[in-house]
Structures are given as C-alpha cells and as structure tokens.
Amino acid sequence: MSRSTLRIKLSCVDMEELMKKINESEIIMMDIKKESVVDYILTIYEKDYESFSELASRYNATIISIKENEFYRMKKNVLKRKSFFIGIVLFILFIYALSTRIWAINIKTDQFVSPYEIRTYITNLGIKEGISKKKIDVFELEKKIPDVNGNVVWVRARIRGTELEITVSERQNPPNIVKDETPCDLLAKKDGIVKRIYTLSGTAMVKEGDLVKKGDVLIKGQQGNEESLYDVKAEGSVIATTFFESIEDFEIPKYKRVRTGNNFSNKYINVGKKKIYLKNRLNKYDKYDKIEDNSSFVKIETYYEVKEIEYTKEEREKILDDRLNKMYSDIVINFQHEIKILNRLLQHDELGESFRLRVLITTEEDLIEKVG
C-alpha cells in the first residue's frame, strides 16, 4: 500500500463540524496545526485525498496543497500528460513495426533481363512491399532466380534497412573472333632474361641468355633469305626469367592497445535526426574502443576500456613478417595464370625508428607482346 503523504491547508467556515465528520471517517490526519478558527494545516495520506476532497466539498471548504510528496508530484504530472506519453509509446511502436518490414524493392539488371521479369517472379514467391523481413531468405532467393531464368548467371540479394536490393548478373555470349593475319612483329612487354624460344612463323631476333628490355623485337615478322624476304605475321613464344620487386618503409608503433575486460553499453533509438537514449551511462574510460551496433531498431553502442602495452620483440617480428607476406600477396594477386614463380626473397632492414621492407619475386613467363 502506498504511504505517500500530502501537506495541505484546509479553510472552512464550519470547521468544527467538518473536522468531526473527517474524524468519523476512515481518513487519517496527522501533524494538525490550527492557524485560525477557519484555517487548519494538516497532513493526510495521498490515498485518502479523493475521499477527503469529496467530504470537504460538502462543507464548501477550500483545499490548498502546500507540500507534495515527490512521488505523488511525479505521478500527478504523468497523469496530466498521459496522452502525450501514450502518443510517444504508440509512435515508437509504430516506427518499430514499420522497420520490421520491406517497403521498397530495388532490382538492378544488365541488358537482356528486365527488372519486371524478376519482380514478377519474386511476387509469385510472395515477396512484395509490406512483407516481413523474417519471411525473406536472401540466400535461398539467390539460388532460385538463376534456376528459373537461363540468362541469369548469379544474383545478390541484400536487405538494407526497409529496402530489398536485388542485383542480377546476366550471361554474356562470347564475341565472334576473326583471325587476323596482318603481318606484325612480336615485342617484349617487359624486361627479362631469355630462357627458351619457340618460333612458328617469323625470324627470332634473340637467343638464350640475352637480356632484353621492354619494347625490344623478339620475333620479327619476316621470313626468307637476304635475296627473298617477305612479311608474315610473327607467331611464337619467348620464355624468360622476369623479376617483380616492391620496397616499402614501414614503422611499427611502440605500443599496442589491449582491452582490459571492462566495458559497458548504452542503448538508444533514432527519432528523426535525434538520439533518444533508453540507457545512457557516462564514459569514464581514459582510453577506449567504441563499437556501434545499428542492426536493430534499438541501437547499441559499447565502450571497451583499453590500455597501452609495449610490443615484445617476438610480436614486432611477427608484424614485420605479416607485412612482408602482405606485400608478397599484393604482387602475386595480379599475376596471370601462365606466370610461374621460381623464387621469392622477403627481407627487412632496420633504419632507426622504421624498417625498409623488400620483396623480390623471380618468375618465368612469356615475354611476347603483339604489335601490328
């Protein structure tokens, strides 16, 4: 039972009769102070206020609130603004309900498959504006669309906010290739050391062991002897040793950031451009990582306390090795499938506060580049 109290001033011409009736009722009065014959100051329980007010009105008495209990004041303010708070709650529930559904479907295609075809198919599957996000399996959708349309190679379906994005890649017919018999030379596309030469037509201009530069003629588009030369389309291969090198100055920070295990989270919702926090704790960490999760209607921001610790020698070596391997991968990823790796050199030299990293890859490949 609530024990909240009210301190009030009671004014009545027939005060004695009114006080008698109050005493006969179940209303409890406390700390009664008589200011005059017609004015009393007293304290009653908040639960008795309605009965007290009704009884006082029979004697034309006036009630003035002097001091309210804090809880009662808050309760009264809330009741006064009840419709406002109900409106806010209903608005939040309405926005949340809208955010759980798809309200736009964006379909991107190439040239021959129309967005209308894809939209018609997914509509037959029951996927349309207003559908709940939970009813859409984007991975299943990516498998089904290519099965019903032979011109579709692959599909990417993603849900972003209240929008379903579908990107379709179409099958491309290979172009008709017309064989070109125009006389031409074969040039070196890069520097290298010649290892082997295969000539189908034309005249080889280099031999095994030659160092060639980019643009040098490897196989000339001519055949015959000095008395009878004629132009041809040079064809063949010149296999050579080539080199790929990458040099980089790299600095390792002295300290690393490590999480201490202490963390806390705040929760909020977006209303327009404003954040309304449902839970908001003051961040007292000097150093921290902040991670935001915006995947749901209620957003979460988590703060992780961190401290700085000096790297050990083993950790610094591992960082250097990882960086060298990354440099190596960045070079190799651009290799054509016909390039053969013969050897690799990964090294680092200390330069004061930083390091000089060097990656050298020795490869074998065909050097020819056709020129008309």
Choice among 225-229, 263-267, 280-284, 360-364 with the minimum mean pLDDT: 225-229
| pLDDT tens column, 23-82 | 888 888 888 888 888 888 888 888 888 888 898 888 888 888 876 555 555 665 666 677
Angle at 135 between CA 131 and CA 139, to 5 degrees: 120
Q: Which two tokens stand for residue 302?
A: 């988590």
pLDDT of residue 117: 87
pLDDT of residue 1: 47
| pLDDT tens column, 230-271 | 889 989 999 999 999 999 999 988 888 999 999 999 999 988
Please determine, for residue 130, whether its predicted confidence score (pLDDT) is greater than 60: yes
Tally the C-alpha atoms within 13 A of residue 284's C-alpha that lie toward its C-beta. 3
Paired with 202 in beta bridges are: none
Highest mean pLDDT among 78-92, 164-178, 351-365 belongs to: 351-365
Please determine, for residue 173, whether its predicted confidence score (pLDDT) is greater than 80: no
CATH no., domain 5-77: 3.30.70.260
In contact, 368 and 212? CB cutoff 8 Å: no
Please determine, for residue 362, whether its predicted confidence score (pLDDT) is greater than 70: yes
How confident is the model over 268-280, as a mean pLDDT? 88
| pLDDT tens column, 343-353 | 999 999 988 88
How confident is the model over 200-217, as a mean pLDDT? 92
pLDDT of residue 6: 84
Please determine, for residue 341, whether its predicted confidence score (pLDDT) is greater than 90: yes
For the chain, give the percent of residues with pLDDT over 90: 37
pLDDT of residue 80: 62
What backbone phi and psi angles, to 5 degrees, belong to 126? 95, 10
pLDDT of residue 67: 61
Q: Matching CATH topology for 5-77 and 81-177?
A: no
Please determine, for residue 21, whether its predicted confidence score (pLDDT) is greater than 50: yes
Please list, in sequence order, all residues whose beta carbon lies within 8 angstroms of the beta carbon of residue 317, skipping any fewer than 6 positions away.
none
Task: Specify the higher pLDDT residue, 191 or 84.
Answer: 191
Task: Specify the higher pLDDT residue, 160 or 75.
Answer: 160
**In CATH, 81-177 is 3.10.20.310:** yes
Please determine, for residue 209, whether its predicted confidence score (pLDDT) is greater than 90: yes
Domain residue ranges in the chain? 5-77, 81-177, 178-254+312-372, 255-310
pLDDT bracket for residue 2 (50, 70, 90)? low
Please determine, for residue 226, whether its predicted confidence score (pLDDT) is greater than 60: yes
**In whole numbers, what is the pLDDT of the chain averaged over residues?**
87
